Amino acid sequence: MKKRIFWKLIISFVCIIVFSIVTGVVIHSYIYHVLEKEIVQSNASSLKQLSLQFDSKVENAAIFFLSLSSDPNIIKYIREDFIGGVDITHIYNTFKILKTKKSADAADLFIYYLNSDRVVSSARMALVSELYFTAYYRASEFSYDDFKKYFGHAHVMSVKSFGSPYDIAILQSFPLNNLKNPNAFAVYKLDKLAMVEMLNNARYCDDAVVIILNREGEIVATTDIEYRLISHIDVNQLKDTANYFRKTINGMEYIFQAVRSDYSGCTFISIVPANLFWTKLDSIQSYSLLAGCIYILFGILMSILLSYRNYTPILTLVKDIRNKSINVPPYVFHNEIDYIRSIMNTAINERDQYKISRQRELILQAVQGIYPKSKNIFDEFKMLGIELLSDYFTVMILHVDSWGSNSVSENYRYGPSQLFNPIIKDALDTHYIGKYQIFTVSTDNNTCICVINLSEKYFENALEICHGIQHSLKVQMETICTIAYSSAHKGWEGLSKAMKEAGTALQYRIIYGAGSIVSYDELIEESEISYNFEALETIERLICMSIVMGNPSPKDVIQQIKNELFNGDIHSPEECKYYFYDMNKLLKKVADKLGLNKEVLYVLSFCETLPQFDAQLISILNKFRQLYMENNLQQENYQKEKDLCDQIIEFINQNYSNPNLCVSEIGKNFNLASSYYLSRRFKNVTGVSIFDFLTKVRIEKAKELLLQTDDSIEKIAEAVGFVSSAALIRVFKKMENVTPGTYRQIYKRI
């Protein structure tokens, strides 16, 4: 055994020396490509940083334009210029406003009034356009016709060059609600020195060139002032190439890279000489050879030292194993290999258990976006004994809504994956054509994550597979579950993305209800939450009417509530949560107002889904109606009150145009002297006072006349019963948050 160990050591270290030499040759042959990739990545990072810096300046310009659009004085001056021109007072006021809005990275801010052909600047004199161009841009590289051409058509955050490679301006047409026919243009000029510094910092080296193109493909800034390389740029080739491409210009090879900003619409191009790679290669080659020599000498030294070692380490190893291990076979002298083999078998069994644990840990971390630094997903899974079919994955989340029996729940309480694993395999075998393998991990007592490794890109018949899983659970174990699944994605990032998609889809269980199947691809992505918080008061009155008057019915009330809050149906889990919270709050408020028992509302706190919540809501409204009717012992008086309110409503609809119509006049018409008593009776039935109802009718009629006629505000005020136009304007603005004139401008155009 001693000789075998000796020769094995010698052969091992000879192989190490050979491997060192081969490795050095391979490293030297690929060093150029490694350096090229490094420089390209570094240059791409610089371009991305330049894009972010430029986008921040464009964002500042957008903030400036937004502040102008919300400034009533600026809008007023633009409107007056369109009608008849602006006077010197308006010009001076515009100058003061621009002065206050000027930021650190802006060289100048100015507004060009189209009708009066005048430029008002925050840093220069206010002149007509030709004089302004002659005074400040005559020495630049563009003509007055080019200057005027910028204001000949509409602009939406347009990036333009103002006469020199570093002189950049951002243009915006005004007003924002009429971009097709602008009345004025706002210009946000960037600081020239800051642009020079930003472009120079983005260059990889002194010989590199950085170019910025706007969305129209025009050059707005460049460090290539002499235009030596710009004429050789092929924009289409930059678009078609994913990372970069090489091109020889005048006998020298260059690398072209481009980064496009979706925010500003600009393209940032870098041109770097390829000979930079060879400059770095010389120094790296020297260090590589030195490291190789040291490595070989170290290997030879270790071979000599270890080859002359005696048999003592093996004996020491055996003694340590006997002293520190348990449940091991008895030691036999000169049979150390068999002894160590038995120890290894025990260790392998423990390793297999550890590998299963590591597989589960890897799956959980990967779906959470935590994965090894190595980008080779096949190697990482192979290290844990898993041979992937491909690097395409889809994620399915199964959530148990109700267990069929206590025995089923108890058996799989700590591992529902044991329940789902065979059922998922049966469904895939039945409905999926390609090859697959699955990894199931339980996250809690009712939820299981199933990662499916596909042999191809598309996850076909996904809906049939989910139906098959649900059918098997329901028939075999009387268990109901919700299934959410993602589309197929590639690699580590794709696995994490698939988990996020499945998790997002599972959130829609609150909308679709228990036992549903939710596909992420079929979800409607809403850009923002559509929730009308201002409708809560109207909904409160609607609920009161349903409880007090019995009309509309609870089912109709729920539909009308959704129409008020969401303009139809609920589309996102966030909207559903708002709906749950506000309905619970409103029902408590209505119960307090009507003196009803709020204990019936506790069931709403246990509702997990929208169908369940709506069903309980209908039941609660019916109970409230019943409680209200039981509390109201005088049914005949109630009907009289309702009939009286109907007569008052009809009377108001017929006489709202009478400016003298008020609560006391209505009371006299119905032979009731106390106007307060009459209004309180009316509010108890309808939820609103007579005065508020009369005001609402007049405002609604005024809105109809504003949109359907061209009558003046005074005439409309008289037609709907207001004593003056000022009274109409005051009440209209209080209720609609806009004046009648603004309301007509906004909605009549629509």
| pTM for this model (two decimals) | 0.42
pLDDT in tens, 536-553: 888 888 888 888 887 788
pLDDT in tens, 465-479: 888 888 888 888 788
Q: Tell me the sheet residues that pair with 480.
A: 402
What the chain holds in terms of domains, given with CATH numbers, is: 71-195 (3.30.450), 196-277 (3.30.450.20), 314-354 (no CATH), 377-522 (3.30.70.270), 533-632 (no CATH), 636-749 (1.10.10.60)
Residue 413 has pLDDT above 60, yes or no: no
Contact 353, 361 (CB under 8 A): no
The per-residue pLDDT for 633 is 59
The per-residue pLDDT for 600 is 85
pLDDT in tens, 632-643: 655 566 677 788
pLDDT in tens, 549-567: 877 888 888 888 888 888 7
- 306 pLDDT band, cuts 50/70/90, is low
The per-residue pLDDT for 482 is 92
- Please, what is the end-to-end C-alpha distance for the chain in angstroms? 96
Structure tokens at 133: 């161009």
Radius of gyration over alpha carbons of the chain, in Å?
39
C-alpha to C-alpha distance for 453 and 439, rounded to whole angstroms: 8
Pairing status of strand 480-485 against strand 436-442: unpaired
DSSP secondary structure string for all residues of 148-203: HHTTSS--SSEEEE-SSTT-EEEEEEESGGGTTS-SEEEEEEEPHHHHHHHHHHH-
DSSP state of 613: H
Work out the angle at residue 505's Cα, subtended by the Cα atoms of residues 504 and 506, and round it to the nearest 5 degrees.
Answer: 90
Lowest mean per-residue pLDDT among 45-54, 157-166, 687-696: 157-166
Structure tokens at 7: 């020769």
* Summary mean pLDDT of the chain: 80
Of 496, 524, 530, 500, nearest to 512 by C-alpha is 524
Residue 10 has pLDDT above 70, yes or no: no
Average pLDDT over residues 263-290: 73
C-alpha to C-alpha distance for 729 and 409, rounded to whole angstroms: 66
Residue 410 or residue 741, greater confidence: 741
Interhelix angle 740-749/725-736, rounded to 10 degrees, is 60
Residue 4 has pLDDT above 60, yes or no: no
